[in-house]
Amino acid sequence: MLKNDLFLRALKGETVNRPPVWMMRQAGRYLPEFMEIKEKYDFFTRCQTPELASEITVQPLRRFGMDAAILFSDILVIPQAMNIEVQMKPNFGPYLPNPIRSKKDLDHVIVPEVGDALDYVMQAIKETKEKLNDEVPLIGFAGSPWTILCYCVQGQGSKTFDKAKELCFTQPMVAHELLQKITDTTIAYLKAKVNAGVNAVQVFDSWGGMLSPVDYQEFSFQYIQQIVDALKEETPVIVFGKGCWFALGEMARSGAAALGVDWTCSAKNARYLSGGKITLQGNFDPARLLSPPAKIKEMVTQMIHEFGKDRYVVNLGHGILPNIPVENAKAFIDAVKEYKVSDS
């Protein structure tokens, strides 16, 4: 039995004394203890070594006592398992030397046996669960198929993902075949994570906002829907689409347990667009953690007032930035933990 199940209760829509809190990318780059590990081991070594991944996962819990942990990993372990080379270059980011640009390129892409190819992730989950000792739930995650396609086709990060869009619009059959392979792999991967012990999963559609609403439906959401359909009976599924406010209504009907909201969509609009009956998560601007701690606490309390304490998970509107002072991250978490209904 979990000692703190506040996060899972909020996902179910139960009445709570205060909303739960965690931060996207909470395991990582803003923490000095993480930087010590980073200096010794490269990125994918950290992801692929269960002892390191589990240690990094629990580091922020030791400091701040969030209401949930999220496994330290990366969305690009999926293409790696699918026979697509992925490198992580310092001061550059992900680099895929052999991007998928044609049917011929796609022939080399496999739907792997995830139990073998990604066993190190499952081992990291088991080690993390031991370290957590049932204190809080553990979240597993994956990138949306569209977001993974963006990297597989572009070959690196981008402000426009023009090559990814070009493939979709000029060779749609190739794009859909790649998207389906990613979807099938992701479903198997997330199911394996649930079997390994995660208590909920989140799908990150980081680049969904690059698409028009019509193209979003064709190239992103229908594949996210497959993932939700496959997982929703086994575990709560959170769907987070950055820049995808236009799809909140459809997402709310998908069977997902909760929807992530970025900082460009207000609480009022998010509640309205999602129909007002689903748990929402977000939407604090990560850069606002550069504000003084007293201001952060004030803004977090206001954010809870606007979303309401029930059917709400306090979080950032995207991942925490590397230059955030530790005491500011603490102020964010503490503001939620100190919240009382009388504050409203």
Q: Is 74 annotated as a binding residue?
A: yes
Q: What is the pLDDT of residue 341?
A: 75
- Count up the domains in the chain and report the number: 1
Q: What is the mean pLDDT of residues 90-112?
A: 97
Give the C-alpha separation, 160 to 78, whole Å. 22
Give the C-alpha separation, 224 to 252, whole Å. 12
For residue 76, is pLDDT > 90? yes
Residue 256 lies in a domain: yes
In this prediction, what percent of the chain has a pLDDT beyond 90? 98
Reported as a single tens digit per residue, the pLDDT across 241-287 is 999 999 999 999 999 999 999 999 999 999 999 999 999 999 999 99
Spell out the residues 6+ positions from residue 248 whose beta carbon is closer than 8 angstroms to its own: 259, 261, 265, 270, 273, 274
Average pLDDT, the chain: 97
> SS3 of 138, please?
strand
Reported as a single tens digit per residue, the pLDDT across 203-256 is 999 999 999 999 999 999 999 999 999 999 999 999 999 999 999 999 999 999
Residue 114 lies in a domain: yes
Q: Is 176 annotated as a binding residue?
A: no
Locate tokens 């002072």: which residue?
A: 325
Q: Is 124 annotated as a binding residue?
A: no
Can you read off the two tokens belonging to residue 146? 């569209």
* pLDDT confidence bin for 343, thresholds 50/70/90: low
Q: Is 62 annotated as a binding residue?
A: no
Q: What is the mean pLDDT of residues 175-191?
A: 98
Residue 221 lies in a domain: yes
Q: Is 26 annotated as a binding residue?
A: yes
Reported as a single tens digit per residue, the pLDDT across 3-53 is 999 999 999 999 999 999 999 999 999 999 999 999 999 999 999 999 999
Reported as a single tens digit per residue, the pLDDT across 292-335 is 999 999 999 999 999 999 999 999 999 999 999 999 999 999 99
CATH number at residue 276: 3.20.20.210
Residue 1 lies in a domain: no
Domain range for 224 is 6-343
Q: What is the mean pLDDT of residues 65-94?
A: 97
Q: Is 329 annotated as a binding residue?
A: no
CA distances from 166 to 86, 153, 171, 244, 305 (A): 21, 9, 8, 20, 43
Q: Is 29 annotated as a binding residue?
A: yes
Q: Is 44 annotated as a binding residue?
A: yes
For residue 176, is pLDDT > 70? yes
Q: Is 318 annotated as a binding residue?
A: yes
Q: How many CB atoms lie within 10 A of CB 301?
A: 17
Residue 258 lies in a domain: yes
pTM of the model: 0.97
Give the C-alpha separation, 228 to 187, whole Å. 9
Can you read off the two tokens belonging to residue 17? 């004394």
* pLDDT confidence bin for 340, thresholds 50/70/90: confident
Alpha helices in 275-339 (DSSP H): 293-307, 326-337
Q: Is 196 annotated as a binding residue?
A: no
